Chain A
Amino acid sequence: MTTDADIIDALVGIAPGSSLDAIRARRPEARAHAQATYRALFAPEAPGTISAQERFAVGVFVAGLHDATAIAAAYAGRLADSRASAALKEAIDAAINEAKMRGPYGSYPAGPLSQEDTAGPVYRVEAMTRRALGPRLAAALEHVHMLVFHPRDAAPAALQALLDAGWSTTDIVTLSQIVAFLSFQIRVIAGLRVLAAHPAPREVAP
């Protein structure tokens, strides 16, 4: 998997000339810029202070939390290419198992919407996993879990925890974009896969 080949096409299995290829071609800017976002977040020209390993580690974690096996494997491939240790990959897999839930849940500001509040866990990385991840990545995965499963529980304290773990304001913007973009990419792939596997019935001649 490179950043040149269209990753959504690759992971849906869209062949040139197929009906989904034609459908994606009708929204050419969306197709090109979904790919451009992937490049910007996972092969940036100016990586700043977020390492490639951190970016791919988050990719594996988010796809794993979505039960998106093939997508997680694609990001795991790039994590391996970034010379991540086997121990890091194992720690991320452990974190996925600790953290996997069903979403969305969370609370609203007190008021009429409180009746829709849905309780759910706040993820804290377990001690063994935390040692393998290190404090900076562990803090990121705790935040990522909230973004994936219960984003309406977001609060300034969560951002303070990231700042305390060494993420700058600009790092947090990029980390948030990575998780938010993956939430999009994973759903486009999931949706288009269903559509590809379930073509419209052909009209039968009377």
Chain B
Amino acid sequence: MTDTVLTPPEHTVPTAFTRAQLDWLPWLEPLAVEAMTERHMASLVDAARVKSPYFRLLARDPDALEARTRTDKDIFYNPDAGLPRAERELAAAATSRFNGCVYCASVHARHAATYSKRETDVQRLLDAGVTADLGERWNAIVAASVALTATPSGFGPEHVDRLRRAGLDDLAIADVIHAAAFFNWANRLMLSLGEPAATAPS
């Protein structure tokens, strides 16, 4: 079989950052469900992800996918102290906003809004970008995430000091670093292997 690039079906391209649910359409052929081995299935970690073309595409390298997913889950879901979940999601959303990943930003802005109950501030980040004024604690988290996301990194002791002044301990600062770093991983996969699509109105 000759490998080919896929042409997505006709769809509405989102032209603004949004908290709405989006679809993601692959540019390369995901594994067919019936062609997946036990190893491929196990690499999804959550069996329900077999419905996602993104995860079935990444399952072509199952060891990398499984390790990626287990890294992701601990950075964002580990409840042991550190940065509250809402602010881990804020770091993910800010990183995605700065890199320009509309799909990732939609998912993690939604999570940030859900866990923080600060829908207006989250929406301001999406609308105005990473320089929006969200209050000092959130500003410090966004600024640190953005500095670390720049290539080469612009993250320095001034960001650590500002996070400490905002009340973060070193475990929480390490959580900001990991959440922003992880979205530099996720953004590059979502942006380069497919594209977002507005969901059809129901």
Contact B155 A180 (CB under 8 A): no
Known contacts A173-B193, A194-B159: does B151 contact A36 (CB below 8 Å)? no
- Count contacts on A: residues with CB < 8 A to the other chain: 74
CB distance from B25 to the nearest CB of A (A): 11
A172 at the interface (CB under 8 A from B): yes
A149 at the interface (CB under 8 A from B): yes
8 Å CB contact of B129 from A37, A116, A157: A116
Q: Which of B150-196 contact A (CB under 8 A)?
A: 150-153, 155-157, 159-161, 164, 169-171, 173-175, 177-178, 180-182, 184-189, 191-193
A23 to B168 CA separation, bound complex (whole angstroms): 13
Contact B174 A195 (CB under 8 A): yes
Q: Which of B68-110 contact A (CB under 8 A)?
A: 68, 70-71, 73-75, 78, 80-82, 98-101
A163 at the interface (CB under 8 A from B): yes
Chain B interface mostly: helix
Contact A163 B3 (CB under 8 A): yes
Contact B73 A159 (CB under 8 A): no
B15 at the interface (CB under 8 A from A): yes
A168 at the interface (CB under 8 A from B): yes
Known contacts A187-B177, A191-B181, A194-B159: does B67 contact A40 (CB below 8 Å)? yes
CB contacts (< 8 Å) of A113 on chain B: these are 15-17
8 Å CB contact of A200 from B5, B82, B170: B170
| Residue of B60, B171, B184 ringed by the most chain A CB atoms within 10 A | B184
Chain A interface mostly: helix
Contact A180 B188 (CB under 8 A): yes
CB contacts (< 8 Å) of B16 on chain A: these are 111-113
A27 at the interface (CB under 8 A from B): yes
8 Å CB contact of B192 from A65, A176, A187, A195: A176
A39 to B74 CA separation, bound complex (whole angstroms): 18
Contact A152 B178 (CB under 8 A): no
CB distance from B112 to the nearest CB of A (A): 20
20 sampled A-B residue pairs with Cβ under 8 A = A23-B170, A29-B73, A29-B78, A30-B78, A33-B70, A45-B63, A113-B17, A154-B191, A154-B192, A170-B60, A173-B57, A177-B65, A179-B188, A180-B186, A183-B185, A184-B185, A185-B181, A188-B177, A188-B181, A195-B174
Chain A residues within CB distance 8 Å of chain B = 19-20, 23-24, 26-30, 32-34, 36-37, 39-41, 44-46, 65-68, 101-104, 106, 108-113, 116, 146-149, 151-152, 154, 156-160, 163, 168-170, 172-174, 176-177, 179-181, 183-188, 190-192, 194-195, 197-198, 200
Closest 6 CB pairs of A and B: A111-B15, A191-B177, A152-B100, A29-B74, A187-B181, A40-B63
